[in-house]
Structure formats: structure tokens, C-alpha cells
């Protein structure tokens, strides 16, 4: 399986993402610059964290206008897995690939620590290697991870089991109903504030994030390799 | 040349933690009559010669990039400049 790690001016988790795939998952991966106009050679798209365009105007707003995002939308429409982490999640909401928006943390602080997450839905292509209800330790590092959407959207997220991860200990950012990660209705676009790519080896403090990437590969192999 | 003043505010349904913190500080220095503070953004956009309708293109810019209508409202004023 071949992954693309998108790189915008100001991305800073792209290298972690690249090495998580290459060294720990053992799959093919390439960096793709934001002005790329073709992602057809890739099976999965990873939108990493950071501060694309300095977070100017709004987090993810300007990254959403780049050439590569038109291609990401095509990939999402084609059913390819698209994962957005942290700033990547913000970009995917700005792009309209995921509902809602990420607001400033309620306590106005940049939160950087490992948190406990609960797997709310293990029946997705990103979470099939977790147990339903499993708690996992994954680091967060963000100032604007306070998930918000209107009541109607929230009701829909609940109804369709689109809330994939919640904060199971304290809610670090004021996120609506403790949301840490959501998936689109079709089930191939996941956005999450915590960083699974920073939790892929015991030496990093946790390897709980690796199962997320293994889930993607498992699903892909089942549908592409006989 | 046309100057456009754009005001972007958080929608009423959206909590504004920055505004709440500033309200707290105003209370601390004696302005207890302050009931609410909402913080927004102000943009000045200068537009050169164009055949297109100014209101239409400013609205487009706001919807496409300058604001996120999931969480923000906007209004704008168009001023003719020299």
C-alpha cells in the first residue's frame, strides 16, 4: 500500500508521519508538496499536523485553497482512505470533507501531553484493529482542538456512529461531547486532534497509535489483494 | 480603487473563550457592568479596477476563504477611495 504525506508550508508533523509509515508500519510512503496536481498513484492520503500557512486567518483555511486539496477531494470521492491529524483535521473541516470546525481551546492554552482516548467505533477502516470501547494513550499538541458543530450535525454524527474517538479522561480542550475524532458518513475520511503517528513505538511512550495505521492496511489488502 | 471593510464575528451560538477571558479581566479592573465581550476580526481589502460587481465578489471572497460560515458571521462596508 502506498501512502502520500502532504506537506504544506508550515507542516511540522510530516516527518513523524512519514517514519511511522516507513519504519513501523513498513509500507511505501512519499512526501507530496502542496502544489501537486495528481495523487492518482497513492492508495491512502495522510494530512499531517503543524501550522500550515502559520495558522493565519484560520487554522487550515489557506491550506484548503492549495492545488493538492482539490486532489484530496477527488481521492475522498473515490473512496480512498484520507486521514487528517491535528492541523490535518482542521484542514479537512475547512475543506468540507468533515462537518463542524475546531475552535480555540476553552482554557486558551496550547495543550501538549498524552491523553486517554476511548475507541467509540471500531467498525471503521481506521479502527478495525482496536476493541470496541478500548482505551488508548495518544499524545495531543494543539491550541485549537475544541470541536464544534451545530445540534443538527451532532445528532447526525451520533446517529451514524461518526464519533470514532472521545477523550475518556479529562476533556483537554472543551470539545463538544468530548469528541477527539470523527469520520465522514461514507467512512473513508477520518479527522482527529490526537497524534497516532507519535505513538507507534514503546520508546515513544506508547505504541497505541500503530493499530490505526495497521487497520487501514488490513482493510486495503482485503479489498485489493486476492 | 475601492476599499472594503469586512467585520468577522463568531456566530452567536459559538462560545468565545477569548471574549470570556477579556470580560473577566475587565471585571477585575472595575468594569463590573460589562455583560459580554465577543472578539472578532476586521479586514480591509483594497480592490483595483474591475468590471465585476464589488458586492458580489466580496461576498464570494468571504464565503470561499475569508470566513468559515460554520462558526462565523460577517458583514462588510464598501467605500470608494481615490
Question: How does DSSP classify residue A109?
Answer: S
Contact between B66 and B57 under an 8 Å Cβ cutoff? The reply is no
> How do residues A51-110 score in pLDDT, each as one tens digit?
999 999 999 999 999 999 999 999 999 999 999 999 999 999 999 999 999 999 999 999
CATH number at residue A204: 3.40.50.880
Give strand pairing partners of B80.
Answer: B2
Residue B8, CB-side half-sphere exposure with 13 Å CA sphere: 20
- Architecture category of domain B2-80 in CATH: 2-Layer Sandwich (3.30)
Phi, psi dihedrals of residue A67, rounded to the nearest 5°: -55, -45
**Closest in A101, A105, A174 to B71, CB measured:** A101
**Closest in B15, B66, B70 to A100, CB measured:** B70
Contact between B1 and B34 under an 8 Å Cβ cutoff? The reply is no
pTM of the complete model: 0.95
Whether chain B has a CB inside 8 Å of the CB on A61: the answer is yes
Q: Which domain holds residue A64?
A: 2-224
Residue A139, CB-side half-sphere exposure with 13 Å CA sphere: 16
Contact between B46 and B81 under an 8 Å Cβ cutoff? The reply is yes
Q: Is A197 a catalytic residue?
A: yes
Which residue on chain A is closest to B11 by alpha carbon?
A150
DSSP secondary structure string for all residues of B25-58: HHHHTT-TT-------EEEEEEE-S-SS-HHHHH
Contact between A90 and A144 under an 8 Å Cβ cutoff? The reply is yes
Residues of chain A neighbouring B60 (CB-CB closer than 8 A): none
Query: Tell me, what's the ipTM?
Result: 0.89
Give the residue extent of every domain in chain B.
2-80
> How do residues A97-146 score in pLDDT, each as one tens digit?
999 999 999 999 999 999 999 999 999 999 999 999 999 999 999 999 99
- What is the rounded CA–CA span in Å between residue B7 and residue B2? 16
Whether chain B has a CB inside 8 Å of the CB on A106: the answer is yes
Amino acid at each position: 500500500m502506498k501512502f502520500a504525506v502532504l506537506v504544506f508550508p508550515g507542516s511540522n508533523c510530516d516527518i513523524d508521519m512519514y517514519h511511522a509509515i516507513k519504519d513501523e508500519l513498513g509500507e511505501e510512503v512519499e512526501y507530496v508538496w502542496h502544489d501537486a496536481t495528481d495523487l492518482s498513484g497513492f492508495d491512502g492520503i495522510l494530512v499531517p499536523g503543524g501550522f500550515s500557512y502559520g495558522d493565519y486567518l484560520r487554522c487550515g483555511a489557506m491550506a484548503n485553497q492549495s492545488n493538492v486539496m482539490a486532489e484530496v477531494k477527488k481521492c475522498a470521492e473515490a473512496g480512498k482512505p484520507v486521514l487528517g491529524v491535528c492541523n490535518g483535521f482542521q484542514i479537512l473541516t475547512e475543506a468540507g470533507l468533515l462537518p463542524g470546525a475546531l475552535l480555540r481551546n476553552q482554557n486558551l492554552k496550547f495543550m501538549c501531553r498524552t491523553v486517554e482516548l476511548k475507541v467509540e467505533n471500531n467498525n471503521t477502516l481506521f479502527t478495525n484493529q482496536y476493541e470496541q470501547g478500548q482505551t488508548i494513550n495518544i499524545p495531543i499538541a494543539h491550541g485549537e482542538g475544541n470541536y464544534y458543530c451545530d445540534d443538527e450535525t451532532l445528532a447526525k454524527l451520533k446517529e451514524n456512529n461518526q464519533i470514532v474517538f472521545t477523550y475518556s479522561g479529562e476533556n483537554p480542550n472543551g470539545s463538544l461531547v468530548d469528541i477527539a475524532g470523527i469520520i465522514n458518513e461514507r467512512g473513508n475520511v477520518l479527522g482527529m486532534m490526537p497524534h497516532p503517528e507519535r505513538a507507534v513505538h514503546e520508546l515513544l511512550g506508547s505504541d497505541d497509535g500503530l493499530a490505526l495505521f495497521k487497520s487501514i492496511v488490513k482493510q486495503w489488502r482485503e479489498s485489493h489483494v486476492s | 480603487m475601492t476599499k472594503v471593510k469586512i467585520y468577522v464575528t463568531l456566530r452567536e451560538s459559538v462560545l468565545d473563550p477569548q471574549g470570556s477571558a477579556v470580560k473577566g479581566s475587565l471585571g477585575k479592573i472595575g468594569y463590573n457592568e460589562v455583560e459580554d465581550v465577543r472578539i472578532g476580526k476586521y479586514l480591509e481589502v483594497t480592490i483595483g479596477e474591475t468590471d465585476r460587481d464589488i458586492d458580489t465578489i466580496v461576498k464570494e471572497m468571504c464565503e470561499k476563504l475569508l470566513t468559515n460560515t460554520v462558526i462565523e458571521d460577517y458583514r462588510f462596508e464598501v467605500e470608494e477611495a481615490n
